[in-house]
């Protein structure tokens, strides 16, 4: 049987690197990032996709600096909306399926329980609006696509909350060893979500491809926690005695407003019998056991 050819965009990013490293070898995987092709360049994207002739494009490239998007709206829309439209058009022209990663930021975060795919988006940030525009571009251009909304992503590569906590924990341990004052690590306790390991996103993506699932899917880890609880779980699984203190979002004002409730329910994956996502604690423990700093 011919093995599927997969083209990954954003291949040097946090998720892109894990896709390149951990997609099964039964796929023929190639990737590119902005150093070789800028997705805002429609001709370059079209020519590259035509040359590669992929069966599936996994689109992980994005402008992901949520606060930066607030001051660089034009770039955010160019990359996340128009760039995605360019990728979708190239898929249409060569008959490839498209997997597009979207985000919990498409919601306003004011709900009382986890959002399902049937809930209406109401983004409160430029990033959220640009990613939602990307979703709409994909759905308008293609029939063969899957939009996977993920959230609170962490993994081995790039910058993320879990790695930042480990760094702060190490700095705190060093301060204690040096006899200096140990300041608690303050972490917000009034935003909740589903912390999701990149490796689990890779596995779920494979299922979406293998099952040829089409449409919009929430695809986050099971289980909801606050950032504060996530910090505590991380230190527990890493066996670090860090001093952590809960605080409110008001103590950490950010340019882009963060949703109070980021939790997503994988309703459609479950309905299709295709939800591979594990409890976030199980995945986080495995990450903490394996991660080499
Ligand atoms: N991280 C999260 O918590 C999270 C949550 C929900 C959804 N998502 C979505 O998941 C996907 C992957 O996220 P991630 O965490 O892996 O992000 P990431 O680490 O920022 O990776 C994105 C990659 O895209 C590249 N890129 C930026 N502009 C580009 C352009 N014009 N042309 C081509 N490539 C470009 C980036 O390069 P540079 O770094 O050089 O700019 C980077 O290598 C994104 O669609 C994101 O919106 C992420």
Q: What is the pTM of this model?
A: 0.97
CA of residue 10 to ligand 1 center, whole Å: 6
Task: Name the nearest CA neighbour of 15 among 85, 97, 102.
Answer: 102
Cα angle value 275/157/78 (rounded, 5°)? 80
Tokens of 261: 């409730």
Q: How far is the C-alpha of 141 from the C-alpha of 145, rounded, in Å?
A: 9
CA of residue 159 to ligand 1 center, whole Å: 11
The helix (run of H) or strand (run of E) holding residue 51 is: helix 42-52
Q: Residue whose CA is closest, atom 42 of ligand 1?
A: 13
Q: How far is the C-alpha of 9 from the C-alpha of 202, rounded, in Å?
A: 14
For each of the chain's 293 residues, which pLDDT tens digit applies? 567 999 999 999 999 999 999 999 999 999 999 999 999 999 999 999 999 999 999 999 999 999 999 999 999 999 999 999 999 999 999 999 999 999 999 999 999 999 999 999 999 999 999 999 999 999 999 999 999 999 999 999 999 999 999 999 999 999 999 999 899 999 999 999 999 999 999 999 999 999 999 999 999 999 999 999 999 999 999 999 999 999 999 998 889 988 899 999 999 999 999 999 999 999 999 999 999 98
CA of residue 13 to ligand 1 center, whole Å: 6
Q: Residue whose CA is closest, atom 11 of ligand 1?
A: 60
Contact criterion met (CB below 8 Å) for 59 and 84: yes
Give the total residue count for the chain: 293
Query: What structural domains and CATH numbers belong to the chain?
Result: 5-156+195-222+262-278 (3.40.50.720)
62 lines ligand 1 (CB under 6 A): yes
Radius of gyration of the chain (CA): 19
Answer positive or negative: Cα dihedral of 120, 87, 128, 230.
positive
Give me the active site residues, please: 127
């Amino acid at each position: 049987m011919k093995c599927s050819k997969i083209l990954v965009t954003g291949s040097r990013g946090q998720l892109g690197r894990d896709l390149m490293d951990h997609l099964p070898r039964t796929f023929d995987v190639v990737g590119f990032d902005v150093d070789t092709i800028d997705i805002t360049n429609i001709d370059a994207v079209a020519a590259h996709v035509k040359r590669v002739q992929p069966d599936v494009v996994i689109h992980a490239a994005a402008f992901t600096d949520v606060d930066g998007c607030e001051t660089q709206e034009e770039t955010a829309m160019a990359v996340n909306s128009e760039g995605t439209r360019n990728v979708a058009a190239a898929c249409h022209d060569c008959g490839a399926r498209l997997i597009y990663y979207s985000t919990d930021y498409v919601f306003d975060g004011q709900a009382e329980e986890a959002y399902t795919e049937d809930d209406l988006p109401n983004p409160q940030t430029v990033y959220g609006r640009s990613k939602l525009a990307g979703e709409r571009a994909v759905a308008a251009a293609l029939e063969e696509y899957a939009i996977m909304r993920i959230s609170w992503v962490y993994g081995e590569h790039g910058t993320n909350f879990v790695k930042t906590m480990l760094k702060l924990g190490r700095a705190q341990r060093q301060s204690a060893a040096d006899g200096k004052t140990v300041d608690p690590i303050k972490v917000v306790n009034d935003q909740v979500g589903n912390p999701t390991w990149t490796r689990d996103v890779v596995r779920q993506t494979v299922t979406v491809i293998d099952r040829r699932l089409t449409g919009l899917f929430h695809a986050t880890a099971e289980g909801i926690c606050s950032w504060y609880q996530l910090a505590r779980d991380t230190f527990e699984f890493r066996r670090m005695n860090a001093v952590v203190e809960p605080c409110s979002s008001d103590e950490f004002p950010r340019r882009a407003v963060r949703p109070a409730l980021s939790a997503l329910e994988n309703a459609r994956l479950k309905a299709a019998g295709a939800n591979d996502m594990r409890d976030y604690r199980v995945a986080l423990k495995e990450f903490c056991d394996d991660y080499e700093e």
